Every structure is written in C-alpha cells, then in structure tokens.
Amino acid sequence: MSIQVDNNSKIDSNLIETIKIMEKNNIPYWLCHGTLLGIIRDNKLIDWDKDIDFAVWYSENLKNKIKNIMIDNKYVLKSKYIDDGSLTFKKNNSIEVDINFYKIKKINSLGETAYVKFFVPKNNFCKIIDALSLANNYKGKFKFFINKLNIFSNYFEKFKLFLIKKNLFYKNLAYTVPFILFKNFKKIKYKNIFITVPEESEKYLTFVYGENWRVPKKNYNWIKDSPSTKSV
C-alpha cells in the first residue's frame, strides 16, 4: 500500500537523514508512536509533536552502534538523568529524533508483548521539582510562573538528583504492544521517500491511541491517555 501526499509540502530533514542512516548501516527500523500516527492519519508529521519516533529491537550492541553512528553524522546525544528505553538526538534547529529500543516479554496468558520503558516522576511533588529544575526552558503548564523561578533551578536540580539517587523520584512506565503487531512490516510511500511501518499500522494505532485515534488531540498525554501505557 502506498500513501500519496503532496510532494510540495515540507518534509523534516532529520527524518530523511535518519532513514538513510538506518538503511545505509543495514539497521532494521520502523516508525512508531506519534510519528506513525501523523503520517497514517494526516499524511504529515504532527505539528505540535516534539520528536520523530523510530523503533528498533533492543540489543546493547545495536544501541552502542546507533549512538556512535548518529554522533558520527553530527547529531548530539541528549543527556538524561537516567538511562531508559530510548536515545534522543538533536541536530541544528530541526525536530529531535528518538530511537526507541523495544524488548519482548511474555505476559501470562496474553502471550508476548513488545515494550519500550521510560521513567517518569512518581507523583505531583516530583513533577513540580522536575519542572522547577528545568525552569529556564520549561514550556509546560504554568510556564509563566515556573520561568520566573529560574534563579532557583540549580538548587532544584541538585535536589532532583538527590531523590534520583535514593530511588525516590522516578517510576517506570512503558508503551506495550502485542508482539504480533510488530512481527511484520511493510514499506509505504511518504512524500518522495519510502518508509518502514508495521504491516497492520491501523491496528497498532488503535491499540496505542484507542478507538478514536483518527481524531487529533493536541493535549494528548501518553501516560494518562494511552490504553497501552503500563508498568513493566
């Protein structure tokens, strides 16, 4: 199946370049999460999405390989307080690139589940500390008030690091998907390039975003709104 779109509309350079990097280095990948949602639903990247989501199967060797290859191609690896299931890269002023490393786990009678794990603040107190530690660049809820407290951001960052070391700050959550939805893939045409996506992309999107995935939701929260978000 091919998706025909307006070839005159803008395509992000980091999307094209990352696909070329993956293919040149024989790294099997597929598009996932909000990037796949935008391309399947809207024939474009979602305007308010902050990153481009790629997925690969996890191995430590592959993770190191991708890290080195992206850095060799002038991408900057974004630092994180704790290592999770993804690597985030930045280049120029273009949108960030997330490489999500999916693992497979058997979940009781439900069969095999593919998942990518992330770490999020445990509670509202930790969320506030997180926002205040990033006050200089914070763009979320109550940003006007939080930005005003940027002179204290170093203090809150140190407090945050203390809580992380004591294992009091983060809890783990994951996007979980039945492995069968990631068993087969296909190429579709997007603008003037071909991209790899799950063969049953619409079933995947229904599982991750719910039955109403075709309705855009600007304030979508993957923790609260996705039926696939679980602790693993």
Once rounded to an integer, what is the mean pLDDT over residues 103-124? 88
Closest of 137, 130, 139 to residue 170, by C-alpha: 130
Q: For 161, list phi and psi in degrees, rounded to 5.
A: -60, -35
Q: How confident is residue 192, by pLDDT bands cut at 50, 70 and 90?
A: confident
**What residues make up the domain containing 212?**
13-118+173-230
| pLDDT the model gives residue 135 | 84
| pLDDT the model gives residue 94 | 84
Q: How confident is residue 97, by pLDDT bands cut at 50, 70 and 90?
A: very high
Q: Which DSSP category does 127 fall into? A: H
Note whether 50 and 141 are same-domain residues.
no
Round to whole Å and give the CA distance between 144 and 41.
33
Cα within 13 Å of Cα(81), Cβ side? 19
**In this structure, is residue 6 part of a structural domain?**
no
Who has greater pLDDT, 8 or 100?
A: 100
Note whether 135 and 113 are same-domain residues.
no
Q: How confident is residue 5, by pLDDT bands cut at 50, 70 and 90?
A: very low
Note whether 55 and 86 are same-domain residues.
yes
| pLDDT the model gives residue 145 | 79
Note whether 17 and 77 are same-domain residues.
yes
| pLDDT the model gives residue 197 | 98
**In this structure, is residue 177 part of a structural domain?**
yes
Note whether 188 and 151 are same-domain residues.
no
Q: How far is CA 105 from CA 65, 75, 84, 108, in A?
A: 23, 31, 16, 10
Is residue 110 scored above 70 in pLDDT? Answer: no
Q: For residue range 34-69, what is the model confidence (pLDDT) as tens digits?
A: 999 999 999 999 999 989 999 999 999 999 999 999
pTM: 0.89
Is residue 111 scored above 90 in pLDDT? Answer: no
Poorest-pLDDT segment among 20-34, 62-76, 141-155, 168-182: 141-155
Round to whole Å and give the CA distance between 43 and 25.
27
Note whether 39 and 102 are same-domain residues.
yes
Is residue 26 scored above 60 in pLDDT? Answer: yes
Is residue 82 scored above 60 in pLDDT? Answer: yes
| pLDDT the model gives residue 10 | 63
Note whether 163 and 178 are same-domain residues.
no
Note whether 142 and 37 are same-domain residues.
no
Tokens of 231: 């602790």
- Count of structural domains, the chain: 2
Is residue 189 scored above 50 in pLDDT? Answer: yes
Question: Any idea what the CATH number is for the domain that residue 31 is in?
Answer: 3.30.460.40
